Structure 1
Amino acid sequence: MTASPLLALAGAVPSESSPTVAGHYGNPMVEQRRLERGESIVDLSDRGVVTVTGPDRLSWLHSMASQSFDRLAPGEGIEGLLLDAAGHIEHAVHAVDDGETAWLVVEGDEAAPLAAWLDRMRFMLRVEVADRSAETAVLAAMSLAALDAAVAAFAPAGVALDWVDPWAAPRPGGHQYADQAGHPASDWHLVERIVPRSALADAADAVAAGRVAVAGSLALDALRIAAWRPRLASEVDEKTIPHELDWLRSAVDLGKGCYKGQETVAKVLNLGRPPRRLVLLHLDGSDTVLPAPGDEVVGEKVRPEPAAGEAPERKVVGRITSSAMHHELGPIALAVVKRAVPAELPLIVLSHGIDVAAAQVEIVPEGAGAAVEVPRLPRLGVRKP
């Protein structure tokens, strides 16, 4: 992808992970506050857009995805996952249908592989798949007012292509492991607007004229981490299942029929436990070190007690997936750790040769267990009076 016109704005610094968009515009903390208040837009033109047209599009997507597409009304946005046969996450899509076309927003490097895979799965169905990333782009904000100030809604079939993130509250048919009381997702109001790529220049003009503010990807990521919101590009590896990230709350309909990976989704929810779990880490910022994705998270074994002068034994219990400097919370991170790591265990992040102390906040609780209680059967030959 070519550099976005918003990257030419004053103060723009390219994102380290995606250099076609801005990581920040000179003051990430101020950008966070403005974005949180719904005053700014964020350039997500590095994301990909895949379309599916044809009369069978919704029933076809419904048959493959973890979320229900068959009753999707024009203008309604949903999130769905595409899993492998073992239930591991392969793709995550932000979907909105305009009555003629299903528009799927994905990570930028996922668009071409997803379009190719979907094209192979068409068989005899009346659907057509296209990668539209070269001609369309994505802008985001925490309010429709900010988006409207930047660029008009795009509605090629008469329905605005605005995807409202369902993370703010558990969807019907989903399941939430995290404690509902005080869940930070209630403050997450992200809207993604699909627009013609040519409209990015109009958005840049609106920012330059002072009609709307702009924030970089670092600001959005900090708010996302604080909201416990998982992202495919950050939190997912080849072993990830939705339960580990509490992604059943927004991207899975547990009442829908057969799809690839459903057996694992149902079995882990009803009879098992997530093998790993997502946590938020509050990091010690005294060394001004912000951990990088992939940095190891370790715990110190406290029993048996080490001998005098001997360092406690350490064990790797997880890895950092995302980190940020939040304008209120300070340095924070999301990490995936082993299920059995005690919630009260102090953790240490090994980053840049420095030990960074970390206190965990449970997202998927240590005690998350089976949703269905299976009665114990009496042993053979034993009769109760």
Structure 2
Amino acid sequence: MNTVNCESVSLFTLTPGGQSVADRLRQVLPMECYCAEKYVQEGYTPFHGSLKLTVAEAFLRDSAIIFIGACGIAVRMIAPLLKDKLTDPAVLVIDEKGQYVISLLSGHIGGANELARYVSGVIGAQPVISTATDVNQKCSFDLLAKQISAESENFREATKTVNQLLVSGHPVGIHIDPWLEKTIGFDIHHFDIRGLTVVAEDEVEHHQLSALIDVSMQKERPRWPVPSFQLIPKRLVAGIGCRKGVSSQQLLTLFEQQIQELNIHPLALVVVGSIDIKRDEPAILHLTKHFQVPFKLFSAAALSTCSDQFPQSEFVQKTVGVGCVSQPAAWLLSHGCLLGETVRQQGITLTYGVIK
């Protein structure tokens, strides 16, 4: 899977020679190019006050930063800004002759390793990647999680433990919940699993594994005979309809009860949807903040495109312009893959779905 993240890229050239390399990259990457004011030409923006200040702004804003110049300068610029491997942007350094592309920071989660490979291909350079799993031709827990769009309860510890085992040559297995394969057609072979042994539930104890990656959206899991680390694909969606002013605690409690009955892990939730007139509904906003997921809004017209297949309410039709809300919202979010039955309680309607 391509994990290159080019949503927002800033490139810093420190010499006129570096601009020729930058010009080649500008053709294929959407990015803002910065240089000293004395070197400004078309397509370049002067540093905002200084290189240090401009880099600091980009570090907080962008998904990737590229320096064309010496590694030492790049290190000094970003050193005071470093926070966490899970949140820092990708940082690359390219020499001004375009011979080498160094993945300097956030190789896995930030996507610097893949970006370095991509950039190297564009300019005909040699990528320089030093992360242990890549050097040893093994996958990594954190990059696999990114590829799958998955979470883990103790992500940092799981990444450290699994990656150390892999690069040390210890056997690590990966089990895919059959429910995932059956429900959404999940296929682990679409992702990077180099160094892992794919095992069924009844095979785990026979492989003498040092650890197991358990890929499942379910909350309750088997008692594995080896240390296990669950990767929870974020595939659960929820459509919500509710009366105005419904209690935030009521909605949260009912929501948690229902996903527990479905045996779905809370970390599997990826998005909540409703009709656009609910954009400021406190209970739904509280729920999305609690689970740290986006709130997708649909117009009545959009919901009407699939609402006819669900039970209609005259009151809801007169109030919001469509006969039902939660079911069509979940249907649109999941592309028609609904999960369980719609729940109607205390002025709240909940419908769940799963993204394939």
What's the TM-score, normalizing by structure 1? 0.24
Greater C-alpha Rg:
2
RCO (CA 8 Å, sep 6+): is it higher in 1 or 2?
1
What's the TM-score, normalizing by structure 2? 0.25
Larger helix fraction of residues: 2
